[in-house]
Structure 1
Amino acid sequence: MAEPSTAPGAIEAIAPGEHVEEEDDFATSDYDASSVASSSASLTSSVYQHAYENGRRYHQYRHGTYPIPNDDAEQNRDDMKHAMMLELTDGKLFFAPITGNPGKIIDLATGTGIWAVDIADKFPGASVLGVDLSPIQPLWVPPNLRFLVDDIEDDWTHGDDWDLVHMRCISPWLKDEVKVLRQAYEHIKPGGWIEIQELDARANCDDGSMTPDAPLSKFFDTAERAVKEFGMKFRAGENLRAPLEKAGFVNIECKVLKVPIGTWPKDKKKRLIGLYCKTAVSDMFGAMAAKPLRKILDPVEIELFLAAARKDLDDPSIHSYEKYYFWMGQRPSVEG
């Protein structure tokens, strides 16, 4: 099977001295995340309990499983990444080649539930389920959507015959990704699809404007070291072919898109995408500083380290970007 498709060519940068709108002048995206509320229905009070560490809030249910906060700041970052993804894909919620209207769709590690809400609106005849450790999903949702608080690494209890299983920005945090994928495989209907959407968690550069030892680049490398302390793989999204194959999936393909970090591109739409990504990365600094980075650095080191990375993040002469991977795999229609 072919390797991931080559990312598009280099993104054209703004020429030195060329005038463009300031970041504050960007029009609002067509994809509004503001309607996502942090409440849910039909849940016991115990799952609403939270733990607090270093000024950030974490889910209490299975506390420690996921070392990233679930507070408003993190929810806003999650929704911003969704808006960024829709701009990047021209509004596509998935790339898996599903024909017709899917009947059953499940979103594993749904987060705020914003993808699940959009997919339920897109396919009103489908039954949609979002599953997450945190009960932070909205109360008012399409009638064909429901949410469930559960650990997706537990034994599967979410029913069968799914047409599409969706996962996004969760692979790095899984302790046993093959188990999760194998369970998904076993409960997808024959001929159904899985799609996993992941950023590569790197500050890439094509034109030499950023060196490998630049603070922004080193942030991602240091974050990778930090999450290893929790038994997790920060860059799992780059290497999902083997886990998908081990789980039994066939027709595995990967679409790769470039996501600029910052408003340095010449193209206005790419600048908007870059603004979303820059803001998400900046917010990620705080999420990583609150817990994971403290495993390998002391608080003073973290403050100095992130100050240097933020300086790079705000420098329009640095033309960095992340890669967005869209992995697709199919359960065979007929199994031998």
Structure 2
Amino acid sequence: MAEPSESAQAPLDAPLTAEPDGWDDNDSSIEVTSLASSTTSITDTIRKHREENGRTYHKYKEETDEHPETEVLGIDLSPIQPSFIPANLAFQIDDLEESWNFSSKFDFIYTRMLTGSFTNWPKFFEQSFANLNPGGYIELADSCFPMRTDDNSFPPDSALKKWCDLLVEGCAAVGRPIDSAMHYKSQLEAAGFVNVVEVQYRWPMGRWPTDKKAKELGTWGLANVYGGLESICLAVFTRVLGWTKEEVDIFLIDVRKELKDPKIHSYGPIYVVYGQKPVEK
């Protein structure tokens, strides 16, 4: 079985160089936009959500084209899957925090951006281990809050830094930490996985890096966070930290300004971690 491929991003131990103040961005016309949700063919009962502060939340408990010989199963709490999919791909709405009852074992389990989703990561890794075939792999790709700078370019009383710190505080208070990725390697090993590898990357916010690839990555990273800023924090700020929606809306004005400020060289740490279930002898 081939090992999961590593990302092409720059390792976290290689700091990015920032453009000088006042640099002329030839692509400055690029607008930050939000991404539209896909339509799905999930049943109406699964589609039901509750609404709060103008946003919807779960009512239920709160490379297929290239490899046609494989069978791929996608799991999510949300009915966000497209209706036009390859024949070897299926989607299932499920809660992976509950006991797993799959009819067969897997050769590869992959997760992406699930930090803050689980209250018990060791249990998730134990169930992953139990549901993998011998020699199978698990791979995780995740962000790790808070955002950072390598040159102390956050301004005094930075709204962006405050937003990150409050988000970390609120998620920790409800037992769903968003810095969980730093523990994946040790938790995988504790669950019995071998050949565990951890690679760290920088995900820049904006077009401030001089490196062309990092600049492009920063463009997409900024669009992703900027467009989802409210959806990332609204429930935590209002339910856990006691803010009103109006207070959140006003606060996010300054957060958005700082996200787009090229003088602030912020980035999100990204962890890619994978390991193997031992091969039976």
TM range (shorter): 0.7 to 0.9
What does residue 280 of structure 2 align with? 334
Which deviates further from its counterpart, 317-326 or 268-277? 268-277
Correspondence list, 1:248-287, <5 A = 248-287=192-231
Aligned counterparts of 1:283 and 1:232: Cα–Cα separation in 2: 22
What does residue 181 of structure 2 align with? 237
Per the alignment, do residues 272 and 241 of structure 1 end up closer, same or farther by CA in structure 2, a change over 3 Å counting? same
TM-score, reference length from structure 2: 0.87
* Among 121, 124, 132, the residue aligned to 1:188: 132
Identity of aligned residues (%): 31
* One-letter code aligned to 2:49: H
Query: What SS does the aligned partner of 1:122 have?
Result: coil
What does residue 296 of structure 1 align with? 241
Aligned counterparts of 1:327 and 1:132: Cα–Cα separation in 2: 20
Q: Is the CA contact (8 Å cut-off) linking 2:234 and 2:248 kept in structure 1? A: no
Per the alignment, do residues 126 and 212 of structure 1 end up closer, same or farther by CA in structure 2, a change over 3 Å counting? farther
Aligned counterparts of 1:230 and 1:325: Cα–Cα separation in 2: 23
* Among 271, 276, 279, the residue aligned to 1:325: 271
Correspondence list, 1:80-95, <5 A = none
What does residue 81 of structure 2 align with? 137
Aligned length: 267
Per the alignment, do residues 209 and 242 of structure 1 end up closer, same or farther by CA in structure 2, a change over 3 Å counting? same
Is it true that 1:311 corresponds to 2:257 in the alignment?
yes
Aligned-residue RMSD, C-alpha: 2.3
* One-letter code aligned to 1:298: W
* One-letter code aligned to 1:48: R
Is it true that 1:205 corresponds to 2:149 in the alignment?
yes
Give structure 1 regions of 4+ aligned residues with deviation exceeding 6 angstroms.
none
TM-score, reference length from structure 1: 0.73
Q: Is the CA contact (8 Å cut-off) linking 1:23 and 1:275 kept in structure 2? A: no
What does residue 115 of structure 1 align with? none
Aligned counterparts of 1:197 and 1:168: Cα–Cα separation in 2: 5
What does residue 154 of structure 1 align with? 98
* Among 148, 159, 162, the residue aligned to 1:215: 159
Q: What does the per-residue CA deviation read over 1:184-228, in whole Å, with 9 as the maximum and x for residues that have no partner? A: 111111111000110112221112222585221221110011123
How far has the Cα of 1:44 moved from its partner?
4.2
How far has the Cα of 1:25 moved from its partner?
4.6
* One-letter code aligned to 1:317: K
Q: Is the CA contact (8 Å cut-off) linking 2:146 and 2:168 kept in structure 1? A: no
Per the alignment, do residues 289 and 204 of structure 1 end up closer, same or farther by CA in structure 2, a change over 3 Å counting? closer
Q: Is the CA contact (8 Å cut-off) linking 2:200 and 2:269 kept in structure 1? A: yes
* One-letter code aligned to 1:202: P
What does residue 85 of structure 1 align with? none
How far has the Cα of 1:285 moved from its partner?
2.4
How far has the Cα of 1:332 moved from its partner?
0.3
Q: Is the CA contact (8 Å cut-off) linking 1:160 and 1:189 kept in structure 2? A: no
* One-letter code aligned to 1:185: F
* One-letter code aligned to 1:53: E
Aligned counterparts of 1:23 and 1:145: Cα–Cα separation in 2: 39
How far has the Cα of 1:152 moved from its partner?
0.9
How far has the Cα of 1:321 moved from its partner?
0.8
Per the alignment, do residues 333 and 324 of structure 1 end up closer, same or farther by CA in structure 2, a change over 3 Å counting? same
- Structure 2: give runs of 5+ residues left out of the alignment: 1-9
Q: What does the per-residue CA deviation read over 1:271-300, in whole Å, with 9 as the maximum and x for residues that have no partner? A: 221121112222342114431111214225
Aligned counterparts of 1:316 and 1:332: Cα–Cα separation in 2: 47
Q: Is the CA contact (8 Å cut-off) linking 2:143 and 2:271 kept in structure 1? A: yes
Aligned counterparts of 1:22 and 1:297: Cα–Cα separation in 2: 40
Per the alignment, do residues 192 and 23 of structure 1 end up closer, same or farther by CA in structure 2, a change over 3 Å counting? farther
Which deviates further from its counterpart, 240-249 or 148-157? 240-249
